Amino acid sequence: MQVLELSNFPWNPAIRNPQPIARIGAPVVLAVIVFCAYKILLERVETRWGWADYIGHTRAAADWRQGRGLGTPHFLFEALTILCHSLLGTRSGYTAPFTRSRPGADPFGPAALLAVELSAVAAALATYAFWVRRLPPRRDGDGRVAALWCLGLQVAGPITLATVWAKTLYVGYIYPASTYHNPTILLLKPLALLSFALTLQALERSVVARAGWNLVMAASAAGVISALAKPSWLLCFLPGLVLTLLVDPRLRSRRLAWEVVAAVLLTGLGVLAWQYAFLYGHSGTDRISFTPQKYARYGPLAPVKLALSIAYPVSVLIVFWKAVRQSLLLGLAWTTFAVSLLVSYFFTETGSRSGHDNLGWSAQIALFVLFVASAIAMVETLRRQASTSPSVFVPWRTAIPVGLFLLHAAGGVLWYATYFTEQGNWHWY
């Protein structure tokens, strides 16, 4: 096996201070690529698909803009759509319903598409910011590598190539929030990652000292704002946060960690309680129900599809177990994802929303955060191993998680490509 000298590694600790153009250029290029890709994609498919998830949000934005009242307790996307509508300078009237085939035919349609494009850029930049915060660049190429990983994390989907013969690329799988047909999940991605990052930082500080109320308040506020985009993240993150506190001995014995969790928990439960009352408080039929039979609806391939959805983070956990088993980064991400599976597979809405599977989005957003945390933990481990040895072997097993991640990226590209070319039908859904 070839021995690589430490001086050849891109994370050589002796090589520091990348040039300003390298630090700025990588995220700028990342943002431009994501924006252009989404713009081309959305303009291509807007005449080919039903855009069911966009219709309700643009109508709610139009009604809110004209003073007809707020129709949803997670209204952040509507607010962004109204802002984009004003920036575009389109007419403010709302005279016709959002057509099934052309969102652009509605005056708020172009604004909604712009809001989605900006949300996708924000998600990519938030991922990059979290990455470089945990893994500061030490040479010019580190920023480009980070941008490439962050781009892959926006695209990654389940390894659908393994079951492409079944022609179901969505039902039964869990996408790491990389689908484009739900605008609020795209807006939630950067906010969920911000909530996770700030809370994680507060917990890490509380192990050795007081986190500081400014950081605790920022983590609490980020959680509340994420719920205003979509409550899916808090539904799994708050229980996952409590579980992490209980199972991690470094946190369980620290009163300061309990204070962090209590602050995030109380503010999060407050906004969720208001949203629950808003949605279900005025109807005797609409509520959240425990439905353990829900998992069986995904068909006999459901266990296989679940495994193909989480192959990469599982591989990181197995391959680097000795190095990451005490990682608070992965511990919090995994407990949150575990809770999200319970929320997604065993609970559903009744009444008018029974067919929407809104609770299924919790697993998607939790899996996105888990993908990001796993990628950072893997590279962080490799960097640490390289910095503690004068020379380092590149273990062959590192190729396993990297190869699986590439398959995840291919699965995500396949999802986009199918709906880019399938004339807007549901044959591959």
Task: Please check whether residue 58 lies inside any domain of the structure.
Answer: no
According to the model, what pLDDT value does residue 14 have?
Answer: 43
DSSP string over 205-252: HHTTS---HHHHHHHHHHHHHHHHH-THHHHHHHHHHHHHHHH-HHHH
**Mapping DSSP to helix (H, G, I), strand (E, B) and coil, where does residue 13 land?**
coil
Whether residue 223 is predicted with pLDDT greater than 90 in this model: the reply is yes
pLDDT tens column, 109-157:
888 889 999 999 999 999 999 999 999 888 778 889 999 999 999 999 9
DSSP-assigned beta bridge partners for residue 392: 4
Record the tokens describing residue 157, joined without a space. Answer: 């989907």
Rg (CA), the chain: 22
Q: pLDDT band for position 101 (50/70/90)?
A: very low
**Other C-beta atoms within 10 Å of 392: how many?**
17
How far apart are the C-alpha atoms of 76 and 231, rounded to whole Å? 11
Listed residue (208, 408, 274, 247) closest to 330, CA to CA: 247
Residue pair 368/176 in contact (Cβ under 8 Å)? The answer is yes
Q: What are phi and psi of 348, to 5 degrees?
A: -150, 165
Task: Please check whether residue 222 lies inside any domain of the structure.
Answer: yes
Would you give the distance in Å from CA 408 to the centre of its chain?
Answer: 15
Number of residues in the chain: 429
Helix (H) or strand (E) segment spanning residue 57: helix 52-65
Listed residue (387, 366, 364) closest to 157, CA to CA: 364
Q: How far is CA 1 from CA 4, 5, 20, 395, 396, in A?
A: 10, 13, 37, 9, 9
Give me the domain span that covers residue 339: 3-19+140-421
Out of 74-88, 356-370, 408-422, which region has the weakest mean confidence (pLDDT)? 408-422
Q: How far is CA 366 from CA 169, 173, 310, in A?
A: 19, 14, 11
Check residues 139 and 314 and name the one with the higher pLDDT. 314
Task: Please check whether residue 88 lies inside any domain of the structure.
Answer: no
Sign of CA dihedral 368, 369, 374, 377: positive
Q: pLDDT band for position 2 (50/70/90)?
A: very low
What's the rounded mean pLDDT across residues 238-256?
A: 93
Whether residue 51 is predicted with pLDDT greater than 80 in this model: the reply is no
According to the model, what pLDDT value does residue 165 have?
Answer: 75
How many structural domains comprise the chain? 1
Task: Please check whether residue 387 lies inside any domain of the structure.
Answer: yes
Q: pLDDT band for position 395 (50/70/90)?
A: low
Residue pair 178/419 in contact (Cβ under 8 Å)? The answer is no
Task: Please check whether residue 176 lies inside any domain of the structure.
Answer: yes
pLDDT tens column, 336-347:
999 999 998 888
According to the model, what pLDDT value does residue 55 have?
Answer: 78
Whether residue 371 is predicted with pLDDT greater than 70 in this model: the reply is yes
According to the model, what pLDDT value does residue 71 have?
Answer: 79
Whether residue 298 is predicted with pLDDT greater than 70 in this model: the reply is yes
Record the tokens describing residue 121, joined without a space. Answer: 């850029």
Pairing of strands 391-393, 288-290: unpaired
According to the model, what pLDDT value does residue 53 have?
Answer: 72
Task: Please check whether residue 79 lies inside any domain of the structure.
Answer: no
Out of 156-160, 227-231, 383-387, which region has the weakest mean confidence (pLDDT)? 383-387
Task: Please check whether residue 122 lies inside any domain of the structure.
Answer: no
Check residues 184 and 172 and name the one with the higher pLDDT. 184
The angle, 0 to 180 degrees and rounded to 10, between the axes of the packed helices 140-155 and 109-134 is 130
**Mapping DSSP to helix (H, G, I), strand (E, B) and coil, where does residue 348 land?**
strand
Q: pLDDT band for position 11 (50/70/90)?
A: very low
Check residues 374 and 71 and name the one with the higher pLDDT. 374
Task: Please check whether residue 95 lies inside any domain of the structure.
Answer: no
Whether residue 422 is predicted with pLDDT greater than 50 in this model: the reply is yes
